Chains A and B, each alone.
Chain A
């Protein structure tokens, strides 16, 4: 399978002394759905920002055939969509529609082309009624779905999601999970919601202090209580076998 994302000996430090990501190497194949897990401060969000060129570290990062550098950045950002943890930070235009056409228009689509794409994505996600709604008037769950829609409107090949299920009620969480299931793109999902990771990812990368502690099948890693607890995590709730 073709390699979609590759990190080769990537290191990064915010202050130049304490490394947040240290000599990290991994690759993700096209169509894979990978969960990025780890305790707070493990480096999950930093890895995503490095992948998008929002932060620059040492080592090499490839997205498809493109190496991360200034020249390739526009193309890379067109290829990789990022769903932010806080949808309020993602939805900065007054309406869902205006937010959705923002990306496609910036990438040269005409208004008609962009609108057709917006309609297609909204219909695909069953969100057509949100199109002309004001961002400040939709619920948290709707906003999260709209944030995913704004990224899908750019037709990225890779989707990065930072905590997509936080602050959602069970029904909205399930809606987001079902949507993730339906997305054919390569996905990298950073989350503490291990139940969701188990549900949506075939592969998991466990991080600790900016290093990969484990990289393998979700079913194996997420069932390894000792490994998870050693890295300040717990078994997914569905595997804990608690009896009330």
Chain B
């Protein structure tokens, strides 16, 4: 299968995921948006050596994965391109920070190693939380939630249309690369000499498609204001979810939960 066609299918798969039914999907989009933002803020705010505290934060994505029925493997598959980049961020730390933090037998674990792992986990958890948000909330619902927060309509419409037009552009790239490869047997990808005209053509074709789509929208009464998904008002369930998540995140951040748990068993 054409790689671009595959990318396009993956994009649509996210729409399908967001349309599933589960207690997490049923939550108010604003509630999911707030809890995700809070989660990311708390995760990022952990000190660089507080590895054990940060590990507790894995519980949130695990629980949400379980309740929403979204496979964890799917998350890692979708994030396969970004994850190595996020993990690469802290790679230099072991060379910069040689402060010994703990001794594991004969191996001295330096602050650089701990901060590298902490940084990787922060990136990983933040990505997982973001993935869960978009996998359980449709882009329309998300934009509707943003509108409720009085984010300007032009921004949400832009976000929504950009999301839709990514698919259109991928379709055009897919058609063009197919046409190219059929007349360039044995070549891998697009030859550098054709990049200029390829990109120019892509721009023209995408603009034509976008024009047609826009025309179709205008003819059906579109005047710049999107009718986003109808979202129900905040209910008790949403408030409870947000309160529990908020309390749990703050506890994990300000109390040494692993230490407390350890002292229960060790004394």
Which residues of A pack against B, CB within 8 Å? Answer: 52, 54, 74, 77-78, 81-82, 84, 86, 88-90, 92, 94-95, 98, 101-103, 105-107, 111, 134, 136, 150, 154
Task: Judge whether B220 is part of the interface by a CB distance below 8 angstroms.
Answer: yes
* Chain A residue with the shortest CB-CB distance to B208: A89
By a CB distance below 8 angstroms, the chain A residues around B230 are: 111
Complex contacts, B138 vs chain A, CB 8 Å: 94
Chain A contact residues, majority secondary structure: helix
Grouping DSSP codes into helix (H, G, I), strand (E, B) and loop, the B interface class, with mixed when no group exceeds half, is: helix
Given A106-B227, A136-B12: A74 and B221 within 8 A (CB)?
yes
**Bound-state Cα–Cα, A89 to B222, Å:** 15
Asked if A89 contacts B220 (CB within 8 A), the reply is: no
Q: Are A154 and B16 in contact (CB under 8 A)?
A: no
Query: In this assembly, does B223 line the interface, its C-beta being within 8 Å of a C-beta of chain A?
Result: yes
Report whether A103 and B221 are in contact in the complex, using a CB–CB cutoff of 8 Å: yes
Chain B's closest residue to A137 (CB) is B12
Interface stretch of the complex, out of B44-52, B89-97, B98-106, B210-218: B210-218
Contacts of B215 in A (CB 8 A): 54
CB–CB A77/B16 < 8 A: no
Other A-B pairs, 14, CB within 8 Å; known A103-B221, A154-B220: A52-B219, A54-B218, A77-B218, A77-B219, A78-B221, A81-B219, A86-B212, A92-B164, A92-B213, A98-B140, A107-B221, A111-B230, A134-B15, A150-B220
Chain A residues, Cβ within 8 Å of B217: 92, 102
Once bound together, how far apart are the Cα atoms of A98 and B9, in whole Å? 19
**B209 beta carbon closer than 8 Å to chain A:** yes
Nearest Cβ distance between residue B69 and chain A, in whole angstroms?
19
State whether A105 and B216 are in contact (beta carbons under 8 Å apart), knowing that A89-B209, A134-B12 are contacts in the complex.
no
Taking CB atoms, residues of chain B closer than 8 Å to A102 are: 217, 220, 222, 227
19 A-B residue pairings within 8 Å (CB atoms): A52-B219, A54-B215, A74-B221, A78-B221, A81-B219, A82-B219, A84-B212, A84-B216, A88-B171, A89-B213, A92-B216, A94-B12, A94-B19, A102-B227, A106-B222, A106-B227, A107-B221, A136-B12, A154-B221
A-chain residues with CB within 8 Å of residue B16 when the two chains form the complex = 134
Q: Complex: how many Å from CA A105 to CA B216?
A: 15
Cβ contact within 8 Å between A89 and B216: yes
B residues near A, CB below 8 A? 9, 12, 15-16, 19, 138, 140, 164, 171, 209, 212-213, 215-223, 227, 230
In angstroms, Cα B12 to Cα A94, docked, is: 8
Distance in angstroms between the alpha carbons of A111 and B209 in the assembled complex: 29
Collect the chain B residues with CB atoms within 8 Å of residue A84's CB: 212, 216
Chain B's closest residue to A100 (CB) is B220
Closest A-B pairs by Cβ, 5 of them: A106-B221, A103-B220, A89-B212, A105-B227, A94-B15
With the chains together, A81 CA to B219 CA distance in Å? Answer: 7
Residues of A close to B221: CB separation below 8 A: 74, 77-78, 103, 106-107, 154
Please report the C-alpha to C-alpha distance between residue A4 and residue B100 in the assembled complex, in whole angstroms. 86
Measured between alpha carbons, how far is A78 from B221 in the docked complex, in Å? 7
Q: Which chain A residue has the least Cβ–Cβ distance from B16?
A: A134
The residue in A134, A136, A150 that gathers the most chain B C-beta atoms within 10 A of its C-beta is: A136
CB closest chain-A residue, reference B12: A136
Chain B nearest CB, measured from A86 CB (Å): 7
Residues of chain B within 8 A of A103, CB atoms compared: 220-221
Residues of A contacting B222 in the complex (Cβ-Cβ under 8 angstroms): 102, 106
Q: What's the Cα separation between A22 and B212 when bound, in Å?
A: 24
Whether the pair B223, A90 counts as a contact (CB closer than 8 A) is no
Which of A88, A94, A106, A111 is B223 in contact with, Cβ under 8 Å? A106
The residues of A that contact B209 with a CB separation of less than 8 Å are 89
Shortest beta-carbon distance, B140 to chain A, in Å? Answer: 8
B26, chain A: closest CB distance, angstroms? 17
Contact present for A106 and B220 (CB under 8 Å)? yes
Q: Which residues of chain A are near B164, meaning CB under 8 Å? A: 92
Interchain nearest-CB distance for B265 vs A (Å): 50
Contacts of B219 in A (CB 8 A): 52, 54, 77, 81-82
Contacts of B212 in A (CB 8 A): 84, 86, 89
- CB-CB under 8 A from A107, the residues of chain B are 221
Listed residue (B15, B140, B171, B216) with the most chain A CB atoms within 10 angstroms of its CB:
B216
Contacts of A82 in B (CB 8 A): 216, 219
Q: How far is the CA of A103 from the CA of B226 in the complex (A)?
A: 11
Q: How far is the CA of A84 from the CA of B15 in the complex (A)?
A: 25
B contact residues around A98 at 8 Å (CB): 140
